[in-house]
Amino acid sequence: MTHPGSRTRPALILLAALAALALAALASVASGSHPTSVQEVFSVLNGTADPNTAAVVESRYPRTALGVLAGLCLAVAGTLMQGVTRNPLADPGLLGITSGASAAIVTSMAFLGASGHWSTVVWALPGALAAGLVVYVIGSAGAGAGVARLVLAGAVVSAVLMAYVQAVTLGNPKVFDSYRYWVVGALGGRDFPVLWSVLPLAAVGLALALLLAPGLNTLALGEESASALGANPAVVRAGGLLAAVLLSTAATAAVGPVAFVGLAVPHIVRALAGVDMRAQVLLSAVVGPALLLLADVVGRIVLRPQELMVGVVTAFIGAPALLLAVRRMRDGS
């Protein structure tokens, strides 16, 4: 007989995470070089604010929405990567997503004259997706295919692409100046068209993750046990990796490579939700956006009126998380 507390605890954790996300979103639209009070934010929402205040608050809506989308994508992708590879140090960068997007952006800037945030998304999207699919095909084709081969393929593809990026940017100072801003990862300066452009990929990736979560639970028991329970390990693994590629591509194309969210959030979620992948995916989709928005708020406050890009803040947050993860692996071995 299932104890009632075993059903209510995950629901309470999810509700608490949703409340934290709501507070983070509120802080995001209230923070900036021109700080806005909570009362002023609510006056904008109910239509009673003065035009100047309304313009300031509404200008932050795209940034907040992109933070929610990118945080969701990176966190769920990290959860899938760690679940499929059974590697607690796996994150979206393992699939070559960042290097693929970087190579495409640098190519467009250096040889096609592309510039601006919109062109960044246009070129990063196919570049990241192509790199992720190439890594998957190399890592899963032929004899000896498996997790270790996938990791090796990701490392090789990333190394080749980043060598190309360095060669192009070091020989073209103008391209380097534009690229160095994107490569840190930032939520500012984007608008809603950027979000709409990556939303279909994010929606398909999230739907696939939710659909495959029960299969990922059986995969954690081992391939023989998964097959005995009616799951197809190869299909589940391929679907999980495809979902991670789609989600990582959407986030990276929209806001640039934001480090450590995909690494740190799965560890937080496992500590709260346990080993059930269905609960992990759902909770990651809430905790990831909350963490990324809070990191962005911190970046806007600490150097006001200037700001620290969110990729820098998440690196400061994620580095201790990585050390804790490594220590936990060592203690558990």
Q: What's the CATH number where 78 sits?
A: 1.10.3470.10
**What proportion of the chain, given as a percentage, has pLDDT over 90?**
29
Assess whether pLDDT exceeds 70 at residue 4: no
DSSP letter assigned to residue 88 = T
DSSP string, 191-229: -HHHHHHHHHHHHHHHHHHHHHHHHHHHHTT-HHHHHHT
Q: Which of 12-16, 183-187, 304-308 has the highest mean pLDDT?
A: 12-16
In contact, 313 and 296? CB cutoff 8 Å: yes
How many other CB atoms are found less than 10 A from the CB of residue 134? Answer: 17
User: Residue 145 class from Cβ within 10 Å (0-12 exposed, 13-18 middle, 19+ buried)?
Assistant: middle
Strand, coil or helix: 141? coil
Cα gap 99→95, rounded to integer Å: 9
DSSP string, 241-282: HHHHHHHHHHHHHHH----SHHHHHHHHHHHHHTT-HHHHHH
What is the pTM assigned to this prediction?
0.87
Q: Which domain holds residue 204?
A: 4-332
pLDDT in tens, 45-65: 888 888 888 888 899 999 999
pLDDT in tens, 283-333: 999 999 999 999 999 999 888 778 888 988 988 877 776 677 667 655 655
Report the chain's mean pLDDT, rounded to a whole number: 84
When divided into structural domains, the chain yields a total of: 1
Note the pLDDT of residue 326.
Answer: 63
Assess whether pLDDT exceeds 60 at residue 144: no
> Tokens standing for 126?
């196919």
> Tokens standing for 138?
């190399």
Note the pLDDT of residue 329.
Answer: 58
- Residues 163-173: what's their mean pLDDT? 90
> Tokens standing for 176?
């380097």
- Residues 168-186: what's their mean pLDDT? 84
What is the pLDDT confidence band of residue 1, given thresholds at 50, 70 and 90?
A: very low
Cα gap 282→213, rounded to integer Å: 10
User: Residue 47 class from Cβ within 10 Å (0-12 exposed, 13-18 middle, 19+ buried)?
Assistant: exposed
